[in-house]
Amino acid sequence: MAGKLTIPERVELVLLYAKDGASSRSVADIFNAKYPNRQPVTQRTVSKNFNRFKETGSVHDRSRSGRRTTATDPETSVQVCRHVEGTPRKSLRKVSQETAVSRRSIGRILSSNHFHPYKVQLVHELHGDVSRE
């Protein structure tokens, strides 16, 4: 992801900002001149980074709020994918009952792991050459 700053880049922004009372605009200009191949950093990014450092003493992301993912965590995802690989013709409802994970979560897990639901149907044999009749 080109837009997200790495930890060393964030540290560099804080150091540039704290150095000699530089403005956030000048720090953004210096940083963008030093790294021309990345997405440009704005004045707001510099000030938000420095304020986060002043408040928390760290340049790492703050902890996220909201409900944590439980059903689609990596362990459950691996378990569900293995179960489906072993028996690919089972319905989501059956897989849900057997793994004790909700049907909707199983759908999300399979979708994010590029499993596509389909039902195998038997059809008449098809011939490419119509003149064989």
H helix or E strand, kind and range, residue 52: helix 43-56
Count of residues making up the chain = 133
CA–CA dist 130, 80 (Å, integer)? 44
- pLDDT of 133 reads 53
Using alpha carbons, select from 34, 38, 16 the residue that is nearest to residue 26.
16
Residue 47's pLDDT is 92
Spans in the chain with pLDDT lower than 70: 1-3, 119-120, 129-133
Residue 119's pLDDT is: 66
pLDDT at 12 (0 to 100): 92
User: pTM of this prediction?
Assistant: 0.51
pLDDT at residue 66, rounded to an integer? 85
9 vs 50, 84, 88, CA distance in Å? 12, 42, 45
Is 26 exposed, middle or buried, given 0-12, 13-18 or 19+ CB atoms closer than 10 A?
middle
CA distance 42 to 28: 6
